[in-house]
């Protein structure tokens, strides 16, 4: 197989394939990054076209969508857009008959665009979302989401499993990116809550290390409410389970007031407070807080509150 892109994540992917006995060809824009892997048994390709030609299964994991297009255009168009002199190939047709697996973070629309482009070059396409950080690759804690060509996923499923769990989400190429971005949204919401909490506790000298175990157990306890909320969200029926939205909107004001009193920036919390208030104003106050999801869905595209 071939791995294109040897940043922190691409290196971890290539190492996992090598460690599991898969002959692996690697390529990176900055060629020096291939050397360490070559010393571990990888074949370092001189050009990206050569790297693609080396294997039926090609994994690309670079910074972003623009980098993917930069690399593929260079490989297939023979253009000179790569920064490394001589790195571009004249490989028109080199992708044909291969499977390209794009594990670069991107939007669903970008995944669909790349899928169309790859199909136009006669190749199969899988888009993926890596739900792991580099040291987790190859461990049981790692999960990679895939969508796109079902045939390719089934053909290479065992190979993908060397990276960790492999979950196939269907033929719609943007689906893995949608799940990836949605899960990252949950993660950043959690990070924001954690950062605000330790800033607040720290405003009276409580060390983050002392306070953090309480945050971890509190968030774990609260996460047990998610499946019940999910049922309410899917059904559209949000009966209160004892902590109705109106009560939460009132007590949320204390979060903002305490933050101001303690000299902690309220920027992370204000949008949540505003959303709770909108929920009450929309007549949802007697029900569960999960009802505010309907307000998020109703936000017009490009609404500043959703950006
Ligand atoms: N690392 C992580 O924790 C996360 C975990 C979840 C998945 N993400 C996504 O994985 C993609 C790669 O991330 P990374 O951590 O490997 O990123 P870097 O270490 O910064 O390496 C970037 C690689 O991209 C190459 N590159 C950048 N720009 C271009 C370009 N215009 N043309 C060709 N290649 C480009 C860069 O090459 P070089 O700088 O070494 O020459 C690296 O190989 C990413 O989508 C994460 O969101 C990681």
> Is the CB of residue 63 below 6 angstroms from any atom belonging to ligand 1?
yes
Tokens standing for 141? Answer: 């804690």
Q: How far apart are CA 200 and CA 259, in angstroms?
A: 7
pLDDT in tens, 130-141: 999 999 999 999
| Index of the ligand 1 atom closest to the CA of residue 70 | 32
Q: What is the mean pLDDT of residues 98-124?
A: 97
Other CB atoms closer than 10 Å to residue 135's CB: what's the count? 11
What is the average pLDDT score of the chain? 93
> Is the CB of residue 137 below 6 angstroms from any atom belonging to ligand 1?
no
> Is the CB of residue 130 below 6 angstroms from any atom belonging to ligand 1?
yes
**Rounded to the nearest whole angstrom, what is the distance from the C-alpha of residue 109 to the centroid of ligand 1?**
19
Contact assessment for residue 245 and residue 286, using Cβ atoms and an 8 Å cutoff? yes
What are the phi and psi torsion angles at 53 (to 5°)? Answer: -65, -20
Q: How confident is the model at residue 93 (pLDDT cuts 50, 70, 90)?
A: confident
> Is the CB of residue 105 below 6 angstroms from any atom belonging to ligand 1?
yes
> Is the CB of residue 30 below 6 angstroms from any atom belonging to ligand 1?
yes
Q: What is the mean pLDDT of residues 6-22?
A: 98
Query: Residue written as tokens 């994991």?
Result: 61
Q: What is the mean pLDDT of residues 277-289?
A: 97
Q: How confident is the model at residue 302 (pLDDT cuts 50, 70, 90)?
A: low
- Our CA dihedral for 209, 212, 214, 220, rounded to 10 degrees, sits at -150
**Rounded to the nearest whole angstrom, what is the distance from the C-alpha of residue 5 to the centroid of ligand 1?**
7
> Is the CB of residue 243 below 6 angstroms from any atom belonging to ligand 1?
no
Q: What is the mean pLDDT of residues 146-159?
A: 98
Q: Report CA torsion sign: 184, 190, 192, 194.
A: negative
Cα-only R_g, the chain: 23
Lowest mean pLDDT among 92-101, 177-186, 253-262, 282-291: 92-101
> Is the CB of residue 102 below 6 angstroms from any atom belonging to ligand 1?
no
Please name the residues in contact with 41: beta carbons below 8 A apart, sequence gap of 6 or more: 18, 24
> Is the CB of residue 6 below 6 angstroms from any atom belonging to ligand 1?
yes
> Is the CB of residue 96 below 6 angstroms from any atom belonging to ligand 1?
no
Residue of 6, 8, 9 best suited for mutating to test ligand 1, as the one with most atoms within 8 Å of CB = 9
**Rounded to the nearest whole angstrom, what is the distance from the C-alpha of residue 87 to the centroid of ligand 1?**
18
**Rounded to the nearest whole angstrom, what is the distance from the C-alpha of residue 103 to the centroid of ligand 1?**
10
């Amino acid at each position: 197989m071939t791995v294109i892109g040897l940043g922190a994540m691409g290196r971890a992917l290539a190492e996992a394939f090598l460690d599991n006995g898969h002959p692996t060809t690697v390529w990176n824009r900055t060629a020096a990054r291939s050397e360490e892997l070559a010393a571990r048994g990888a074949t370092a390709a001189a050009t990206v076209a050569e790297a693609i030609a080396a294997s039926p299964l090609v994994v690309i994991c670079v910074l972003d969508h623009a980098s993917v297009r930069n690399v593929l255009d260079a490989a297939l168009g023979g253009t000179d857009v790569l920064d490394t002199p001589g790195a571009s190939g004249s490989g028109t047709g080199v992708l044909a008959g291969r499977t390209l697996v794009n594990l670069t973070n991107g939007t669903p629309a970008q995944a669909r665009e790349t899928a169309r482009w790859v199909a136009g070059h006669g190749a199969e396409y899988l888009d993926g979302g890596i739900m792991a950080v580099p040291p987790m690759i190859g461990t049981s804690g790692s999960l990679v989401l895939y969508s796109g060509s079902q045939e390719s996923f089934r053909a290479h499923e065992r190979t993908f499993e060397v990276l960790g769990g492999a979950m196939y989400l269907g033929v719609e190429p943007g689906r893995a990116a949608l799940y990836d971005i949605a899960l990252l949204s949950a993660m950043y919401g959690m990070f924001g809550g954690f950062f605000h909490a330790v800033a607040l506790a720290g405003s009276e000298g409580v060390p983050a290390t002392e306070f953090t175990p309480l945050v971890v157990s509190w968030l774990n306890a609260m996460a047990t409410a998610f499946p019940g909320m999910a049922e309410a969200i899917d059904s559209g029926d949000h009966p209160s389970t004892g902590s109705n939205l109106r009560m939460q909107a009132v007590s949320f004001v204390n979060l903002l007031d305490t933050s101001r009193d303690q000299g902690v920036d309220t920027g992370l919390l204000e949008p949540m407070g505003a959303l709770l208030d909108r929920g009450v104003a929309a007549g949802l106050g007697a029900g569960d807080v999960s009802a505010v999801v309907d307000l998020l869905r109703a936000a017009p595209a490009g609404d500043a509150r959703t950006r």
